[in-house]
Amino acid sequence: MEALQMLFSGFALALEPTNILMAALGALVGTMVGVLPGLGPTSAIAILLPLTAILPPTQAIIMLAGIYYGAMYGGSSTAILLNIPGEVASVPTCLDGYPMAQQGRGGPALGIAAIGSFIAGIMGIIALTFFAPLFAEQALKFGPPEYFALMLLALTIVVSLGGASISKALAMGFFGYLLSLIGLGTMTNMPRLTFGYTPLWGGLDVISVVIGLFAISEVLNGIEEKKIAISMGNIGSVFPGLKDLRQSFKAIFRGGALGFFMGLLPGCSPAVTTFLAYDLEKKCSKTPERFGKGAIEGVAAPEAANNATSSAGFIPLFALGIPASPPLAVLLGGLMIYGLTPGPLLFEQNGDFVWAVIASMFIGNVMCLILNLPLVGLWAKLTQIPYGILAPIILLISIVGAYTVRNDMFDVLVALIFGVLGYFMNKFGWPVIPFIICFILGPMLETSLLQSFGMAFENPFIFFQRPISLTLLVATGIFLLVSIKLRRRTQSRIDNSGFEVN
């Protein structure tokens, strides 16, 4: 009851006109940022952070938080309509969202993405309100061995999302992991796999890689196919029908629950949880062969996980001062600038501020829904633009997005190279998703492994001596067996139904 009373007092502050304006501004800017490939909430918050110095702390953090979860909403638009993920976390949305758009159902896909994000975001904020101290305490029990086991568990996705060929999926996963090693070594800080080329010391930026594999390769594919427009058919109503809502209902709650609990762990960003949510939904489905061909659950689950993870990340940030993702790390810097030290004392010494920000997140999520559903029709009209006009625009946005990540033309070169690679991967049936998953998880896997050996004096049995890591390793084995069984069942259904698999 005490938390509820504090929340009501927070609403009294959050509903002040200036605070409502900041929440609306943050949601609007965040949505626009999410749509643009490459910019992302981290860059947007970092750019606007100096400008918020003229604002009081509550208004500034409300706006910056709005940019964060607004970007989570906006990333689905171009992912669904153009097969261009605005954020890495939007990559799983492309898998079924874009096929839905090609089938003339881009409107319902965008609608369910907005509704799923809203429901999961509200779920996450409610949990943030009532269970923050308990969950934050449990998250502290995760050390390097637990994170290593967790990353292994996440890598089981490669088997189930690797397409028809396991060997190709494993090969692409290994290729992605190998490229993730480029740059300065995690523990040695010495250059590796750079071949004396200085720009490679900073490694390959994941945003540039994603832009190349999805956006630029899509342009090349479109040119080869001589597309007239992105979609050949009506987009349909922007509001999902009853059948779509029934199919998506469980997916939204499963994705939201998984995204929230995983989001409590520092370093477990939406880029990880959205893939996990998509994989979980595919495992739970009675017709997994529909996934990748326009299953609306494949849009609902990752979008719900996306926003739930974003909300959950505020728990370790406020209660422990631990940022769970890069945008929250920048937000942590904003808190420190204003002299607000995150931790247990933040709730006691600056309770009005904390609860006003939490209350504003309820308001901001409502505003994101209001902004997104009416704008769905506007984004849908993109599909009616002739491809000869749209392709250069996509290419220009992609190049600008790749450049703005680190303000380096080398990242543009990386995006162009991976665009060509992505074109040939699609052409010859090599799965891109295992590559992306291993490229993202590779550095985290390596870091947690080396830290585990360091704390155990190179004793490999440390992973079996800690209850949580042992449980996760057992779960990894079970998930791997389930994934293999699911693949066989899916392949059998596909063979019987006459579907073709690339």
User: What DSSP string runs through 106-131?
Assistant: HHHHHHHHHHHHHHHHHHHHHHHHHH
Task: Give the CA-trace dihedral at 95, 101, 104, 110, to 10 degrees.
Answer: 110
User: How much is the average pLDDT of 450-478?
Assistant: 83
Name beta bridge partners: 191.
Answer: 184
pLDDT value of position 232? 39
* DSSP conformation letters of 23-71: HHHHHHHHHHHHHSTTTHHHHHHHHHTGGGGGS-HHHHHHHHHHHHHHH
Mean pLDDT of the chain, nearest integer: 78
User: How much is the average pLDDT of 5-27?
Assistant: 87
pLDDT value of position 417? 92
- 261-316 per-position pLDDT tens digit: 877 765 567 877 888 888 888 888 888 888 888 888 989 999 898 888 888 888 77
Residue 15 has pLDDT above 50, yes or no: yes
pLDDT value of position 502? 40
pLDDT value of position 263? 77
Distance in angstroms (rounded) separating the CA atoms of residues 166 and 182? 25
Name beta bridge partners: 386.
Answer: 229
Residue 124 has pLDDT above 70, yes or no: yes
Higher pLDDT, 500 or 371: 371
User: How much is the average pLDDT of 15-26?
Assistant: 90
Distance in angstroms (rounded) separating the CA atoms of residues 358 and 266? 19
Residue 228 has pLDDT above 70, yes or no: no
pLDDT value of position 411? 86
Distance in angstroms (rounded) separating the CA atoms of residues 96 and 278? 10
pLDDT category at 499 given cuts 50, 70, 90 is: very low
pLDDT value of position 280? 86
- 369-387 per-position pLDDT tens digit: 887 777 766 655 655 567 6
Residue 198 has pLDDT above 80, yes or no: yes
pTM over 0.75: no
User: How much is the average pLDDT of 211-223?
Assistant: 78
Residue 368 has pLDDT above 70, yes or no: yes
Sign of the dihedral defined by the CA atoms of residues 417, 423, 427, 432, in that order: positive
Three-class SS state of 502: coil
pLDDT value of position 206? 77
pLDDT value of position 231? 47
User: How much is the average pLDDT of 220-238?
Assistant: 60
pLDDT value of position 233? 44
